[in-house]
Amino acid sequence: MKPSTIATALLGLACSAFASSQQSTVKLPADFKPPQVFKNANLVHIISLEKNYVKEQVNVLIENTAAEPQEEYFLPFTADQLSRVGGFEVKDRKDTAAGPFTVDVVNYDSASSTQYYRIRLPAPLKSGGQQTLGITFYYLSAYRPLPASIPQEATQYLSYEFSPYAQSAYPTVKQKTEVKAASATIPDYTKVEGHGDVAEFPQKQGSKLTYGPFGEKAAGASLPASVRFEFNKPVTHISELERDIEVSHWGGNVAFEERYVLHHQGANLSSQFNRVKWAQSQYFNPASHALKEMRFPLQVGSVDTYFTDTIGNVSTSRFRSNKREALLELKPRYPIFGGWKYPFTIGWNSNAANFVRKTATGGFVFKAPFLEGPKQAEGVEYENINVRVLLPEGAENVKLLADVPESSIVETTVDVHKTYLDTIGRTAVTIKARNLVDEFKDRDLIIYYEVPSAMTLRKPLVIFASFLTVYAAAWAIGKVEVGFGQK
């Protein structure tokens, strides 16, 4: 994409308001009930348990049963689920060009056990009309290890609770739920009574369990079920990620620093850590639920990487950098088992030319991934994300576009941060997001800003003037006669 096109796109964007906190919630009266204006003609619910977060896809054919055109579709969640759900995205399965679906959290009665997401259709659906929605969302901290504590070398099993009837605020005519586990070893799963010619659900094919198809179910129908499957991989949960990006025009550099608080939410150790067993098992390198290593694929051209924690540099890291990749491999100080915690910091520098472009109109466009983070086969989930971009001193007219689900963004602020001999401070863009997973790694964060040229020269002039003042003061003080003259 040409920089100028990005700029125009951004300028045309001017979408949501900045410089003020923005929350994608809708206020509705406390006794709110979704109007029964739709029915789900057909619904396929895919629960993917392959990563250490749960990815759920609800592909639903909705039909407007009311007389008037409708544009608001509600999806219910329990209060507990609502705090852990994230990355909520909606697409039209038939027509990819169908405009953006805006998704909001409905804010009506915080004590209610059922909460809603509201999907606003791009165009009102006329009476009797049908539309196919592809709804995707993720649950974090979704599993419970069972047994909760296991020996160091044992295999870890996780259990997940769900409902074979997909959650819906509307009656569903026909539905099917597929559960994809991480492995074919599924020792326990709930069996439910069959429907039609199948005597009993689910049908198991390898690592896939299929519940349904079921017949018509009323709105809010639910059936408790659980599945317990082998997951001998770490259940990595990042409770806090602070990502600082500092753009320097003078230095021609973009500095990244990321601070992670990492938890392992898998099975705890049933007895204390045994070094002998651990050292012996390392010869065979078996699959283990302990987290031993993380790999961060950084942007090509990243340099000066570091890996530290609260008590200093961690020497067990390796950085491979060449024309094609820049891979940072980290080993924590100790293998991380279930219930253990490891906060750490990584950082690197990169040439500003890779991230910042000048537009024809004189402004700048900064583009970087919203999220980088480790690339792990088992996936990584992020509970709180705080991305802060420090633009040069005096940057103004800031516009930004974060290509992550809008309902995950909690707050966006533009304020001022003073550092490195700043006089008026740098413009700091802070984006707080919640409940994202590593599938959003490649989404972009694009910021447009302008820096007046007077601002660029500000710092050298200020420093020059301060030194001059110091010298002048020193000279003046040196001229003062103190004490009694000896003449």
Token digits of residue 391: 């633009």
Q: Which is nearer to another protein, 110 or 486 (CB)?
A: 486
Q: Distance between CA atoms of 285 and 389, rounded to whole angstroms?
A: 40
Count of residues touching another protein (by CB under 8 A): 27
DSSP 8-state secondary structure symbol assigned to residue 337 = P
The count of residues in the chain is 487
Is 453 a binding residue for another protein by CB under 8 A? The answer is no
Measured from the CB atom, the residue of 196 and 312 that comes closer to another protein is: 312
- Exactly one of 96, 272, 453, 486 binds another protein (CB under 8 A); that residue is 272
Q: Is 5 helix (H, G, I), strand (E, B) or coil?
A: helix
Cα torsion through 403, 405, 406, 407, rounded to 10: -160
* Shortest reach from residue 283's CB to another protein, in Å: 12
Q: Binding of another protein at residue 17 (CB under 8 A)? A: no
Give the three-state DSSP class for 434.
Answer: strand
Q: Which of 5, 23, 130, 419 binds another protein (CB under 8 A)?
A: 419
Which span sits near another protein by CB under 8 A: 73-81, 156-164, 215-223, 333-341?
333-341
- Longest CA–CA span in the chain (Å) reads 121
In the complex, the smallest distance separating the C-beta of residue 429 from another protein, rounded to whole angstroms, is: 18
Least Å from the CB of residue 294 to another protein: 16
State in angstroms the smallest separation of the CB of 466 from another protein: 9
Binding-site member from 74, 342, 364, 440 for another protein (CB under 8 A): 342
Q: Which of these ranges, 95-103, 189-197, 270-278, 319-327, lies near another protein under the rule CB under 8 A?
A: 270-278
Q: Which is nearer to another protein, 78 or 321 (CB)?
A: 321
C-alpha neighbours within 13 Å on the C-beta side of residue 41: 11
Mapped onto helix, strand or coil, the DSSP state of residue 164 is coil
Nearest approach, Cβ of residue 336 and another protein (Å): 9
Using CB under 8 A, pick the residue from 16, 20, 112, 316 that binds another protein: 316
Do 314 and 225 meet the contact criterion of CB atoms below 8 Å apart?
no
What is the footprint of another protein within residues 276-305 (CB under 8 A)? 276, 279
Is 312 in a helix, a strand, or coil?
strand
Q: Is the peptide bond before 171 cis (omega within 30 degrees of 0)?
A: no
* CB-nearer residue toward another protein: 75 or 428: 428
Binding flag, residue 256, another protein (CB under 8 A): no
Question: 285 vs 315, which CB is nearer to another protein?
Answer: 315
486 binds another protein (CB under 8 A): no
Q: Is 275 in the site for another protein (CB under 8 A)?
A: yes
Burial 91-129 (b: 16+ CB within 10 A, else e): bbeeeeebeebebbbbbbeeeeebbbbbbebbeebeeee
Least Å distance, CB 254 to another protein, is 17
- Shortest Å distance, C-beta 341 to another protein: 5
Tell me the backbone φ, ψ of residue 301, rounded to 5 degrees. Answer: 100, 0
Classify residue 33 by its DSSP letter.
-
The residue range among 103-111, 131-139, 156-164, 415-423 that interacts with another protein, by the rule CB under 8 A, is 415-423
Exposure of 425 in the CB half-sphere (CA atoms within 13 A): 8
Q: 15 or 148: whose CB is closer to another protein?
A: 148
Token duo for residue 84: 């852990």
Yes or no: say if 158 and 231 are a contact pair by the CB < 8 Å rule: yes
Mark the segment that binds another protein (CB under 8 A) among 98-106, 117-125, 395-403, 414-422.
414-422
Q: Tell me how far apart the terminal alpha carbons of the chain are, to the nearest angstrom.
A: 80
Angle at 342 between CA 339 and CA 348, to 5 degrees: 150
Task: Candidates 48-56, 66-74, 151-159, 419-427: pick the segment binding another protein (CB under 8 A).
Answer: 419-427
Q: Does 421 bind another protein (CB under 8 A)?
A: yes
Residue that is written with structure tokens 């049933």 in the block:
270
Peptide bond into 29 cis (omega under 30): no
- 271 belongs to the binding site for another protein (CB under 8 A): yes
**Cα 45 from Cα 61, distance rounded (Å):** 12
Q: Which of 5, 313, 361, 397 binds another protein (CB under 8 A)?
A: 313
- Does residue 422 interact with another protein by CB under 8 A? yes
Indicate which single residue of 2, 191, 320, 333 sits in contact with another protein (rule: CB under 8 A).
333
For another protein, the binding residues (CB under 8 A) are 271-276, 279, 309-316, 333-334, 339-343, 418-422
